[in-house]
């Protein structure tokens, strides 16, 4: 397919990445004792897309005792600059030759039951995917990843709730090709259960044995590496339904470039994200975005369309009903509700009480008639200020 030519890394790109990875491994190994460094993620599985500049490195320790602190001492000796990212177990970011290396301390395990943290299983995921794919399947995985990215379905982070890279790989391993997957997805209805390695007798047993929190997702994809885990647990119904809907239309693989100049009729906010783990920072920004949208609607700046984009900076954008009338029609109780009617009249005794059909209302003066003025005031709200580093209307 022509699509594959555009998304599959060529020989030069692979050569550059491989050389950089080898140098990073050498630096780590030169300062490391009693631990093993391995490459992980899509680079190790050969399922990465062209232009991918993120590579996972796992450092395996025999004992889970202060391994983040131990790894930090090694990274400090190996690289001039790095950042420590807080999580269930802290890990590290190192920018090296234009590539972001995510260096993660894990416990060296032979089977998933020995894991003390979810990241401990990641090397086992790499082994499984490498064992169950070949060059053809790896290209099929690339097609599915591109499709998910083009349609905002890719990523298991809490602010996205889409399909993770591992889930993408498992779907292709199970359905054998991108086209076959799309054919099957068209027929998906309700909750879908997939047990790739047939670890259970049937679907009913899967739903019975897995914890209720793990089967809440509309897609239950039994992790072939750990049978009590749903690999797709973070997938939202919204993303699941969108995948089914898109499978029935002309397939789109083109990632649209975000352009501010195409948002001339929108209220646009430029956002500076907080520092920290991307998943946490993104979740906070999402809550700020949702809060602003809710408040716009509550104040009659009805949102017709909205969205947000995040790269180095983030942008929230809303298409709203603007330039409102100077007065707001505020409705009260039904006329026959005498007790409530008396309270309403007392509360608004300075205003003329009017009737519309079977209920009363008053015309109240609006504080804001323009969305920009309203949002300027809203941005001081702690529900927004505590969730972003900075935010302004542009």
Q: With cut-offs at 50, 70 and 90, classify the pLDDT of residue 212.
A: confident
Q: Work out the average pLDDT over 255-280.
A: 92
Q: d(Cα 275, Cα 187) in Å, to the nearest integer?
A: 42
Rg of the chain, C-alpha, whole Å: 26
The CATH superfamily label for domain 260-323+369-393 reads Poly(A) polymerase predicted RNA binding domain (3.30.70.590)
- Whether CATH 3.30.830.10 fits 135-247: no
In the chain, which segments carry CATH 3.30.70.590? Answer: 260-323+369-393
Q: Work out the average pLDDT over 102-113.
A: 96
- pLDDT higher than threshold 90 for residue 2: no
Q: Check residue 312 and give its pLDDT.
A: 81
Q: With cut-offs at 50, 70 and 90, classify the pLDDT of residue 188.
A: very high
Would you state the structure tokens that stand for residue 133, as one six-digit string? 């794919």
Would you put residue 100 in left (φ > 0), alpha (ψ -120 to 50) or beta? beta
Q: d(Cα 355, Cα 336) in Å, to the nearest integer?
A: 12
Question: Are 258 and 162 spatial neighbours (Cβ–Cβ below 8 Å)?
Answer: no
Q: What is the DSSP string of 171-200?
A: HHHHHSSHHHHHHHHTT--S-EEE-TT--S
User: Which of 5-14, 16-25, 161-170, 213-222 has the least mean pLDDT?
Assistant: 213-222
Q: With cut-offs at 50, 70 and 90, classify the pLDDT of residue 1.
A: low
In the chain, which segments carry CATH 3.30.460.10? Answer: 2-122
- pLDDT higher than threshold 80 for residue 213: no
Q: Check residue 45 and give its pLDDT.
A: 98
CATH class of 2-122: alpha beta
């Amino acid at each position: 397919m022509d699509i594959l030519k555009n998304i599959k890394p060529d020989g030069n790109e692979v050569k550059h990445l491989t050389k950089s990875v080898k140098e990073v491994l050498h630096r780590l190994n030169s300062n490391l004792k009693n631990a093993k460094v391995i490459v992980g993620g899509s680079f190790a599985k050969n399922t990465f897309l062209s232009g991918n500049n993120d590579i996972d490195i796992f450092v395996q320790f025999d004992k889970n005792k202060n391994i983040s602190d131990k790894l930090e001492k090694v990274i400090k000796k190996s690289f001039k600059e790095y950042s420590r990212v807080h999580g269930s177990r802290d890990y590290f970011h190192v920018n090296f030759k234009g590539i972001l290396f995510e260096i993660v301390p894990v416990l060296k395990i032979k089977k998933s039951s020995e894991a003390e943290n979810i990241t401990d299983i990641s090397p086992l995921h790499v082994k499984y995917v490498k064992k169950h794919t070949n060059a053809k399947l790896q290209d099929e995985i690339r097609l599915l990843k591109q499709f998910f990215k083009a349609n905002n379905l890719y990523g298991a982070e809490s602010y996205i709730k889409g399909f993770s890279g591992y889930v993408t790989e498992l779907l292709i391993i199970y359905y054998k090709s991108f086209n076959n997957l799309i054919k099957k997805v068209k027929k998906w209805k309700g909750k879908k259960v997939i047990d790739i390695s047939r670890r259970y007798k049937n679907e009913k047993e899967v739903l019975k044995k897995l914890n209720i929190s793990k089967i809440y997702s509309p897609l239950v994809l039994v992790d072939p590496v750990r049978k009590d885990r749903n690999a797709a647990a973070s997938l939202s119904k919204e993303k699941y339904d969108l995948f089914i809907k898109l499978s029935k239309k002309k397939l789109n693989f083109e990632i649209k470039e975000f352009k501010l100049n195409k948002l001339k009729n929108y209220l646009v906010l430029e956002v500076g994200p907080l520092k920290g783990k991307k998943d946490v920072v993104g979740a906070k920004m999402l809550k700020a975005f949702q809060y602003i949208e809710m408040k716009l609607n509550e104040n009659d700046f009805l949102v017709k369309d909205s969205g947000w984009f995040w790269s180095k900076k983030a942008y929230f954008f809303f298409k709203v009903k603007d330039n409102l009338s100077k007065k707001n029609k505020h409705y009260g109780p039904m006329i026959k509700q005498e007790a409530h009617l008396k309270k309403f009249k007392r509360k608004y005794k300075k205003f003329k009480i009017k009737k519309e059909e079977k209920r009363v209302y008053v015309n109240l003066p609006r504080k804001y008639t323009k969305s920009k003025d309203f949002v300027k005031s809203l941005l001081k709200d702690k529900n927004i200020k505590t969730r972003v580093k900075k935010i302004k209307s542009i």
